[in-house]
Amino acid sequence: MSTVTLTTVGPDVSAETYLSVIERDGGVIIEKLLEPDLLRRLNTELDDYIAIHPPGSRSDEELWQVFHGKKTIRFCGLAAKSKAFIEVLLHPILKAFADHYLLPNCGSYWLNTSQTMIVGGGEPVQMLHRDEANWPHFPWPGPELTVSSMFALNDFTEENGATLVAPGSHRWQDPEREARPEELTQAVMPAGSVLLYTGKVIHGAGANRTPDTWRRGMHVSFVLGWLRPEEHHSLAVPLEVARQLPEQAQHLLGYRSYHPSVFGGRLGLVDFEDAALVETQS
């Protein structure tokens, strides 16, 4: 029986309040952050892509097949698939969250990945993990490398696989320690809500114990500007599409160069100049 819980706050919560909860627990649920119309448009724009993507991993490696899930639909590149997604990407709460955790250690940050995680009925619990394990060479605890969000595009329930989280695991002294069952809870939340959590928090998709209900989740994460993102955005989001996006979205997708906050080399240049000069050419 779980002995821990996640704190849930409303969409009008102050940054000071929800950030203090994340500092303590490693994550927080902001209930119904997305307005109903935005949620409807987002789901509608993703419907066709969900329909054409079969469940299961496209990797030949058994570990990734298990991690991705045989009954889970995943696809990325949401900035090229949904105009509504751009509104989510630029939401001020996401920006404040990423600014708080990442800007102390970089000049700017990138979108790490945007992906759907549509968990089908009968899918078992996902392998529990920390998102910062994508960059395994940093000492523990080290700086915050990445921060993440999981949006509920339909209701997340205990039965349909609401995300499992180990609150407080971002502060454990031993990074190899596994979470015990009583240290886990589920991010049960209504559609339009979001779970914000740091890259150091142990989590994973819960088991979908329903026979035929799909749990619709959308993962959006950010990473320090001097690290390579999980997703290759310049291939996932073509230049002609990126040119139509707001400047902040272009930057998050890597169509700008990285300039450090302290003395150091610029990264992602084109012939020694900022990538913006190429992006703005017709």
Q: What pLDDT digit, counting tens, does each position of 125-162 carry?
A: 999 999 999 999 999 999 999 999 999 999 999 999 99
CATH of the domain at 49: 2.60.120.620
The reply to whether 242 falls in a domain is no
Question: pLDDT (tens digit, 9 = 90+) per residue, 174-189?
Answer: 999 999 999 999 999 9
pLDDT band at residue 168 under the 50/70/90 scheme? very high
The reply to whether 57 falls in a domain is yes
- From the list 194, 232, 200, the residue with the least C-alpha distance to 34 is 194
Is pLDDT at 274 greater than 70 in this prediction?
yes
pTM confidence score: 0.96
The reply to whether 259 falls in a domain is no
The reply to whether 256 falls in a domain is no
Between residues 281 and 231, the one the model is more confident about: 231
pLDDT of amino acid 232: 97
- Cα angle value 38/39/44 (rounded, 5°): 100
The reply to whether 35 falls in a domain is yes
Bridge-based pairing state of the strands 164-165 and 185-186 = antiparallel
pLDDT of amino acid 281: 57
For residue 122, what are the domain limits? Answer: 8-231
Backbone angles phi, psi at 185, to 5 degrees: -140, 170
Question: pLDDT (tens digit, 9 = 90+) per residue, 37-67?
Answer: 999 999 999 999 999 999 999 999 999 999 9
Mean pLDDT for the stretch of residues 188-193: 98
The reply to whether 251 falls in a domain is no
Which amino acid would we find at residue 204?
G
Mean pLDDT for the stretch of residues 69-86: 98
Question: What does pLDDT average to over the chain?
Answer: 96
Q: What is the percent of the chain with per-residue pLDDT over 90, rounded to a whole number? A: 94
- From the list 138, 136, 106, the residue with the least C-alpha distance to 261 is 106
pLDDT band at residue 277 under the 50/70/90 scheme? confident
Rounded Cα–Cα distance for residues 161 and 126 (Å): 10
Rounded Cα–Cα distance for residues 112 and 46 (Å): 20
Domain count, the chain: 1
The reply to whether 203 falls in a domain is yes
Q: What is the percent of the chain with per-residue pLDDT over 70, rounded to a whole number? A: 99
Contact call for residues 156 and 138 (beta carbons, < 8 A): no
pLDDT of amino acid 245: 96
Question: pLDDT (tens digit, 9 = 90+) per residue, 231-252?
Answer: 999 999 999 999 999 999 999 9
The reply to whether 105 falls in a domain is yes
Is pLDDT at 106 greater than 80 in this prediction?
yes
Question: pLDDT (tens digit, 9 = 90+) per residue, 20-38?
Answer: 999 999 999 999 999 999 9
Question: pLDDT (tens digit, 9 = 90+) per residue, 4-20?
Answer: 999 999 999 999 999 99
